[in-house]
């Protein structure tokens, strides 16, 4: 089995690295969502996204007829890996990797012409409206009401944990258009302008003190019928197709690799009890174990990209990548906090904080990684049932 890349793929990786080295500050350590609580700083993310769009990278794997480059799945994976490793902003997962492909599958020509170009050019920021106060993993239980009222729908209800809603222009959401229909029926997939009358957005700060979660409330909000994607009451198939596009996984190993490298550099310079941390046998074994796990996660993601290149839709494989990758990120965060010791609890506001408080942020954020995007429990169920053929009970 040949795990090497083609010369063209190697050249593309080098080009992406060169671009990131030129466009990002040399001391760049920020996580993109650190900027989401500040509209002025968020403009850096928007401008960086537009630079990616000019390069044609924002919609790298989109078909050419929709404004993309038509790149291979592996090329797209290389791009995602390099941006994640560099912690580069502007990847726009909601627009380019979720909504865009769904519009290509289910949107009308008019909808594609209206909504795809602004995504491809980086001119619009989308967010996702799935979870609700009483609906998370059980997505089919959403209760946001969308009442048919002639040429538009009227929305009432709320969405919870809506990432970046406060810096977004629009939201794609799942709403109940037929309350009397069975659970997975009577749902519709709608696009809504967040500037619409009747929308209010309330912040939900996370454990790290960062604001990118929100609760979005809808009070008699009008949505044009032209913003219905797919058939009315058949939104479940649209919503689940979108989730297939969301799950790739290379970011998990790339982000983990970057953090482990930073912790390695720290261990080579920090002394405890007169000895460098890197000279400790237990520390060295932990580094070796985590490095090996990163390579496993990386190869799982490459296999997913290969499967996609054959025309297959990874299902259990995507769950394997998500499960292993997110739990790996948690293990690295815990190890990082242990390695840094008590000083690891210092925030970035302290000049004594090692690695500028980055590990503390990642540790606090890591608790959500095995919940959002499908919990670890759900991923294990998928692997057991669809991978191993085990019964539901």
Q: How far apart are CA 226 and CA 152, in angstroms?
A: 8
Domain 126-243 indexed as CATH 2.40.110.10: yes
Cα 173 to chain center, whole Å? 16
Query: What is the bridge-based pairing of β-strands 170-176 and 126-129?
Result: parallel
Mention every residue, 6+ apart, whose C-beta is less than 8 A from residue 379: 319, 320, 322, 323
* 220 CB burial (10 A radius; 0-12, 13-18, 19+): exposed
Task: Return the DSSP state at 132.
Answer: B
| CA 147 – CA 93 distance, rounded (Å) | 29
pLDDT of residue 246: 46
Binning the chain into helix, strand and coil, the percentages to the nearest 5 are 55, 15, 30
* pLDDT value for 245: 56
Domain ranges within the chain, ordered by starting residue = 7-91, 126-243, 247-387
The per-residue pLDDT for range 81-132, each reduced to its tens digit, is 999 999 999 989 999 989 999 999 999 999 999 999 999 999 999 999 999 9
- What was the pLDDT predicted at 134? 86
Cα 70 versus chain centre, distance:
21
Which of 123, 246, 262, 270 is an active site residue?
Answer: 246
pLDDT in tens, 214-232: 999 999 999 999 999 999 9
Residue 214 and residue 203 in contact, taking contact as beta carbons nearer than 8 Å: yes
Is the pTM above the cut of 0.85?
yes
Is 246 a residue of the active site?
yes
Residues in the chain with pLDDT values less than 50: 244, 246
What class, spelled out in words, does domain 7-91 have in CATH? Answer: mainly alpha
pLDDT at residue 2, as a whole number: 66
Q: Which two tokens stand for residue 35?
A: 């900027």
Give the residue from 330, 335, 331 showing the smallest Cα distance to 367: 330
How would CATH label the architecture of 247-387? Answer: Up-down Bundle (1.20)
């Amino acid at each position: 089995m040949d795990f090497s890349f083609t010369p063209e793929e190697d050249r593309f990786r080098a080009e992406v690295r060169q671009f990131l080295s030129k466009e990002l500050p040399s001391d760049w350590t920020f996580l993109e969502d650190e900027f989401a609580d500040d509209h002025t700083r968020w403009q850096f993310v928007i401008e960086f996204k537009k630079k990616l769009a000019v390069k044609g990278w924002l919609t790298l794997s989109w078909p050419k007829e929709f404004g993309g480059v038509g790149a291979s799945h592996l090329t797209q994976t290389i791009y995602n890996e390099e941006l994640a490793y560099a912690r580069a902003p502007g990847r726009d997962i909601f627009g380019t990797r979720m909504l865009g492909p769904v519009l290509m599958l289910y949107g009308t020509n008019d909808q594609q012409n209206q909504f795809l170009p602004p995504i491809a050019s980086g001119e619009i920021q989308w967010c996702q409206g799935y979870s609700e106060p009483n609906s998370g993993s059980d997505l089919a239980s959403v209760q946001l009401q969308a009442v048919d009222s002639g040429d538009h729908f009227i929305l009432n209800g709320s969405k919870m944990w809506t990432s970046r809603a406060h810096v977004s222009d629009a939201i794609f959401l799942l709403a109940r258009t037929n309350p009397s229909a069975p659970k997975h029926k009577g749902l519709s997939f709608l696009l809504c302008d967040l500037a619409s009358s009747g929308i209010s957005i309330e912040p939900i700060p996370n454990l790290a003190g960062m604001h990118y979660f929100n609760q979005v409330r809808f009070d008699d909000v009008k949505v044009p019928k032209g913003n219905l994607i797919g058939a009315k009451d058949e939104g479940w198939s649209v919503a689940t197709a979108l989730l297939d596009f969301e799950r790739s996984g290379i970011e998990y190993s790339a982000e983990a690799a970057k953090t482990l490298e930073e912790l390695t550099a720290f261990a080579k310079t920090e002394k405890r009890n007169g000895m460098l941390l890197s000279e400790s046998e237990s520390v060295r074994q932990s580094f070796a174990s985590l490095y090996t796990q990163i390579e496993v996660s990386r190869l799982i993601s490459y296999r997913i990209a290969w499967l996609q290149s054959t025309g297959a839709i990874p299902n259990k494989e995507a769950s394997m990548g998500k499960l292993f990758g997110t739990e790996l990120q948690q293990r690295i965060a815990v190890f990082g906090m242990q390695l840094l010791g008590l000083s690891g609890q210092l925030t970035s506001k302290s000049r004594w904080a090692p690695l500028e408080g980055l590990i503390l942020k990642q540790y606090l954020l890591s608790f959500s990684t095995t919940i959002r995007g499908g919990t670890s429990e759900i991923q294990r169920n998928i692997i057991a049932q669809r991978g191993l053929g085990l019964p539901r009970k």
